[in-house]
Structure 1
Amino acid sequence: MATVLLVRHGRSTANTAGVLAGRAQGVHLDERGLEQARRAAERLAEVRLVAVVSSPLERCRETAKALVARRADPPPIRTDRGLTECDYGEWQGRPLKELARERLWKTVQSQPAAAGFPGGETLAAMQARAVATVRRHDAAVEAEHGPGAVWVAVSHGDLIKAVLADALGSHLDHFQRIHVDPASISVVRYTDSRPYVLGTNTHEGSLAWLTPPSRSPRRSRAGSTGRRRGSDAEVGGGAGPG
């Protein structure tokens, strides 16, 4: 079972300007956004990362670079358009306070599964491509690096919320109940039986516990609890990471 860390890009110049950036080029991290990305990197310093996959937009690529900048042996950074921002069409580049007066705004808030942006894509289509992209990379990471491998997907707020909603088994109409801040880290582990959401919108604390400890050959056959870690849920909640 590989584990994916869903990292939203740090605060951007569009975030501070109150503009819906969408897929516009030239939107970069601001000074605070760069610091947020560096703090996220510190939280991941003790995690063995095998891959980083980023949205091709600048603010995500800058965040991805900050995440691995101080690593002695950084994993390669790849980009995938499947992780790019939602195509907001005619909404792109407009102030959020102006968009909030549009009739479509209420649909986006209360019934996002029915929302489609003029000249852009629907939120349902955005979720489908985002989930498919994350699951495809997750399967490839596990096939190459084995169970226990940890990788990072750097993307955008609505995409990460949509992926988390899918992992939680929640309808897209409920995805606005999930909050994803700039440079926050959410954690999902996919298994044959179901996804497990290990954390959402986290800001503080080391994530070193995600890297499985090295075990002696004798212990590795059974695992630290005397059995293999499977894809079944622990009845009662289990003992947590070792």
Structure 2
Amino acid sequence: MPIVLLLRHGRSTSNAAGTLAGRTLGIHLDDTGRSQAMAAGERLRGCRLDLAVSSPMERCQETLDLALDSAALDVPRLVDDQVTECDYGQWSGRELSELVNEPLWQQVQQTPSRVTFPDGESMQQMARRMVDAVTVTNARVAEEVTAKASSEAGEGVWMLVSHGDPIKAVLSHALGQSLDDFQRIVVDPASVSIVRWPARGDQVPPMVLAMNTTAGALTSRLGGQDPQLGGGLGSQG
């Protein structure tokens, strides 16, 4: 079973301004976000990655570039439209302090599975495309690792750089919980969550190894014991 590292982009100019960026173009990392992305890269040093996938939004591609450069990793890269931010429609670009007064806001917090944003997509659509995209790419990684026919290939490790709500939707699915519970999950800017994702044909569910981590070398978290996490990550037992 390959392992996917779910990296949220670093803090953006929209995050700092308190607005909902959505798919608005021209949203970049601010200075804090750039530092966060480089720090995430430092955590990746020594890791073996088979593939790195990014949302097409600028803030995600910038995070990926800075992280891989900081980690000194030369990894095949792919931009996938299917792992982009949720389409918030008319909510995009608006201040969060205004949106909390919208009647739809409470539904987003309590029953997101029933929410469709005005002129945008539904949370269910976002969750389905994210899970489908992870499944497809994970199968690709599994096939490539198998084709290497090498004991050094391991089980395959790849990284996905995306956004808060999409990553929360993937984690919610991996945990086997309803999308209506996904607001219980916190995914901070530049945090890394780790999921062992079944390849096609594996008769096992995904296994969440870590969530919302922002410190510590990822080599230990992928291959052995980490006292900050507890438990061993190198075994499926």
With the length of structure 2 as denominator, give the TM-score of the two structures: 0.88
2:232 and 2:39 map into 1 onto residues whose CA distance is 28
1:108 and 1:150 map into 2 onto residues whose CA distance is 33
| 2:213 aligns with one of 202, 212, 231 | 202
SS in structure 2 of the partner of residue 38 of structure 1:
helix
SS in structure 2 of the partner of residue 78 of structure 1:
strand
Correspondences of 1:1-242 after superposition (within 5 Å): 1-146=1-146, 147-191=154-198, 192=202, 193-209=204-220, 241=234
* 1:50 shift after superposition: 1.1
* 1:66 shift after superposition: 0.9
Task: Check 1:239–1:26 CA distance in 2 against 1; reply closer, same or farther (3 A cut).
Answer: closer
* 1:76 shift after superposition: 2.0
1:89 maps to amino acid:
G
1:204 maps to amino acid:
A
Deviation per residue, 1:220-242 (Å, 9 max, x gap): xxxxxxxxxxxxxxxxx975548
Task: Check 1:240–1:53 CA distance in 2 against 1; reply closer, same or farther (3 A cut).
Answer: closer
Higher gyration radius (CA): 1
Matched-pair identity in %: 50
2:8 and 2:231 map into 1 onto residues whose CA distance is 29
SS in structure 2 of the partner of residue 142 of structure 1:
helix
Task: Check 1:178–1:212 CA distance in 2 against 1; reply closer, same or farther (3 A cut).
Answer: closer
2:58 maps to amino acid:
E
* 1:149 shift after superposition: 1.2
Deviation per residue, 1:199-231 (Å, 9 max, x gap): 000011011135659xxxxxxxxxxxxxxxxxx
Name the structure with the higher helix share: 2
Deviation per residue, 1:168-193 (Å, 9 max, x gap): 00100000000000000000012321
Counterpart for residue 151 of structure 2: none
Q: Is 68-77 or 35-44 further displaced after alignment?
A: 68-77
* 1:46 shift after superposition: 1.1
With the length of structure 1 as denominator, give the TM-score of the two structures: 0.86
2:10 and 2:45 map into 1 onto residues whose CA distance is 17
1:104 and 1:208 map into 2 onto residues whose CA distance is 42
Structure 1 segments of 4 or more deviating over 6 A? none
Task: Check 1:92–1:72 CA distance in 2 against 1; reply closer, same or farther (3 A cut).
Answer: closer
Check conservation: 1:186, 1:202, Cα contact below 8 A.
yes
Q: Is 145-154 or 11-20 further displaced after alignment?
A: 145-154
2:139 and 2:221 map into 1 onto residues whose CA distance is 18
1:153 and 1:101 map into 2 onto residues whose CA distance is 33
2:10 and 2:210 map into 1 onto residues whose CA distance is 18
RMSD: 1.7
1:76 and 1:188 map into 2 onto residues whose CA distance is 20
2:232 and 2:163 map into 1 onto residues whose CA distance is 33
Check conservation: 2:8, 2:188, Cα contact below 8 A.
yes
Task: Check 1:179–1:68 CA distance in 2 against 1; reply closer, same or farther (3 A cut).
Answer: same
1:211 and 1:200 map into 2 onto residues whose CA distance is 13
